[in-house]
Chains A and B, each alone.
Chain A
Amino acid sequence: MIYDVVIVGAGPAGMSAAVKLSQRGLAVLVVDEQPTPGGQIWRGIERNTTGPVLRALGRDYERGRALAASFRSCGAEYAPNTQVWQIEEGWSLYLSSNGKSRRIIARAVLLANGAQERPVPFQGWTLPGVMTVGAAQILLKSGGMLPQGQVWIAGAGPLPLLYATQALNLGATITGYLDTSPPLRLKALSKLPGAWRDIAGLAKGFRWLRELEKDGRLIRRASGLMAQGDGKLQDIEWQSGGVRHKAKADVLLVHEGVVPRIHETLALGCAHAWNSDQNYLAPELDRWGETSRVGLFVAGDAGGIGGWAAATIAGEIAALGIAGRLGVAANIDSLRQEARLDNRRKRALALRPFLNALYSPPGTTIPDDVIVCRCEEVTAGKIRDATRGMAPDPNAVKAATRCGMGPCQGRQCGYSVQAILAEQHGIPACDVSFFNIRPPLKPVTIGELASIENAEEIA
């Protein structure tokens, strides 16, 4: 089967693009790793229809239900529980599901595979009991799971505040909240005029903060976080108000912002640009979301962090761009204007410059004894040793230390290696390249490779 469009990811951007492309009568396949649509933001949206978990997740979560329903009925073919492990120009995609692989052909590809939380290594971050705030929120959405015992949240950004509020509404106990963001600076306030366009969004953020501050559980300007324990998390340590603190902990949830998923676009050699507000790489896109490779589009957080509302609009814009590229719509510019897509996107992104300035990414040096590569257990010290007398090349670090060679393929250590090389050479991180990303993009077994039917025949 040759599809007109294959969409990777069934979150806000992927679903909205699928609906629009299907309305044009195009043959669309949506591939997603998850068992049900919604992406991470609306994970479990079809199942969480009533009850206390839904009420705690709030209105933004519930907004996903209508889009998921339109997606289900739009006529696009949907392949859940499916991973894409290779994309070749032309376009062919290698998919894997239930231990079997297959190859499919498409005239255009839309990557709507979202973001991941920015990995920020610190001492003890590999201990059982330490996980990301996003992970805890996914557990809440997918099984109503709440952390037990002495629960600490440490980090910066809107997500930890939102999660804390949701968990508290469900009766969870949060022992303390360590806010690692720098003090509110003039730089952030200068972005406010734009931000006021989204007053509802701001009010929500301040409400979350007040609730935590009320009973003294909010600790501001925390730094130097460490997790300690024998085989599992037992204590945490941090610095605040010039004093070192220590406390018992069973669960530590960390979050330092989110970054686009770029393994697919990197592997395809697309041009990328460095976002200096948030220190991440994102594919360079034209105004329709098309990458430097013709026929390959990106929408949503995978093209730069903007949140779910902006992602749904980016999905619509990319759908128009793809329709234009495939020659099934001639008047895409006027359609774009009629649907007021640019105004709507501007509105959805209004708060973003303020958030970027408020929650700038941490620039702290990773201590030598801290594990940077979770898969191969390579410390920052080992990486520093390897970089001495070496060009600032992450691939040379990989060859020398195995850092980035494990199953996560550098998704957890890539930016840390970049930062260490930049620090060692006294150059900005944006001047250091990223790991060379090669397929398979997700680990596949020899059995899965052997299961591909007609691999050559179609070509």
Chain B
Amino acid sequence: MFKSVLDVPANAPDMTVVVNGVDTPAWNGETVASLLLRVPDAGRLTPVSGASRLPYCQMGVCFDCLAVVDGVASTQGCLTPVVPGMHIDRQHGRREL
């Protein structure tokens, strides 16, 4: 759905992150939300109908980019910069308090 202009053979990724258990290349400056858009089946499933969602606003107001980041559920993906080795997993259902 989205691809980085930085993602060319001449430009090695800055890091590897683990999305749903799979090693995935990533670049400095990206957020978790941009990974959700690149990797299939990473976007959250809604608590009401179980529909899948992907980031909508990228500016912290829609909460459709919620993900489990390094074990912490309901992390706002668009406000979370990627770091090497970060684990990103799909969030199912309700956010936890």
**In the complex, what distance in Å separates the CA atom of A138 from the CA atom of B81?**
13
Residues of A within 8 A of B3 (CB): 145-146, 148
Residues of B within 8 A of A189 (CB): none
Tell me which residues from 359 to 415 in chain A have a Cβ below 8 Å from any Cβ of chain B.
374-377, 406-408, 411-412
Tell me which residues from 29 to 43 in chain B have a Cβ below 8 Å from any Cβ of chain A.
29-31, 34, 37-38, 43
A92 → chain B closest CB, angstroms? 22
Any A CB within 8 A of the CB of B12: no
Residues of B within 8 A of A147 (CB): 1-2
Interface of A is mostly: loop
Any B CB within 8 A of the CB of A224: no
Any B CB within 8 A of the CB of A275: no
Interface contact A99-B58, CB-CB below 8 Å:
no
Chain B minimum-CB-distance residue to A250: B1
Residues of A within 8 A of B4 (CB): 143-146
Interface contact A132-B57, CB-CB below 8 Å:
yes
Interface contact B95-A407, CB-CB below 8 Å:
yes
Interface contact A116-B59, CB-CB below 8 Å:
yes
Tell me which residues from 286 to 336 in chain A have a Cβ below 8 Å from any Cβ of chain B.
none
Chain A interface residue bracket vs B: 35 or more
Any B CB within 8 A of the CB of A34: yes
Chain A minimum-CB-distance residue to B2: A145
Interface contact B1-A40, CB-CB below 8 Å:
no
Residue in B53, B74, B79 whose beta carbon sits within 8 Å of that of A33 in the complex: B79
Any A CB within 8 A of the CB of B22: no
Interface contact A33-B60, CB-CB below 8 Å:
yes
Interface contact B57-A128, CB-CB below 8 Å:
no
**In the complex, what distance in Å separates the CA atom of A131 from the CA atom of B62?**
10
B30 → chain A closest CB, angstroms? 4
**In the complex, what distance in Å separates the CA atom of A171 from the CA atom of B49?**
38
Chain B minimum-CB-distance residue to A170: B5
**In the complex, what distance in Å separates the CA atom of A412 from the CA atom of B34?**
21
Residue in B34, B43, B46 whose beta carbon sits within 8 Å of that of A377 in the complex: B46
Chain A minimum-CB-distance residue to B43: A128
Residues of A within 8 A of B1 (CB): 128-129, 147-149, 250-251
Provide the B8-29 mask, 1 if CB < 8 A to any CB of A, else 0: 0000000000000000000111
Residues of A within 8 A of B52 (CB): 128, 231-232
Any B CB within 8 A of the CB of A202: no
Given contacts A139-B37, A411-B62, A446-B97, contact A44 B57 (CB under 8 A): no
Chain B minimum-CB-distance residue to A444: B97
Interface contact A377-B37, CB-CB below 8 Å:
no
- Please indicate which of the listed interface residues B46, B56, B72 has the most CB atoms of chain A within 10 Å of its own CB: B56
Any A CB within 8 A of the CB of B54: yes
- Please indicate which of the listed interface residues B5, B46, B54 has the most CB atoms of chain A within 10 Å of its own CB: B5
Residues of B within 8 A of A282 (CB): none
Interface contact A377-B79, CB-CB below 8 Å:
no
Nearest 5 Cβ contacts at the A-B interface: A135-B58, A143-B30, A128-B54, A138-B58, A144-B5
Chain B residues engaging chain A, CB cutoff 8 angstroms: 1-6, 27-31, 34, 37-38, 43, 46, 48-49, 51-64, 66, 72, 74, 78-79, 81, 95-97
Can you report 24 A-B residue pairs in the complex whose CB atoms are below 8 A from each other?
Answer: A81-B81, A116-B57, A126-B51, A126-B53, A126-B64, A128-B1, A128-B54, A131-B57, A135-B57, A138-B78, A145-B30, A145-B34, A145-B38, A148-B2, A148-B3, A261-B61, A375-B63, A376-B48, A377-B49, A407-B63, A407-B66, A408-B63, A411-B61, A412-B61
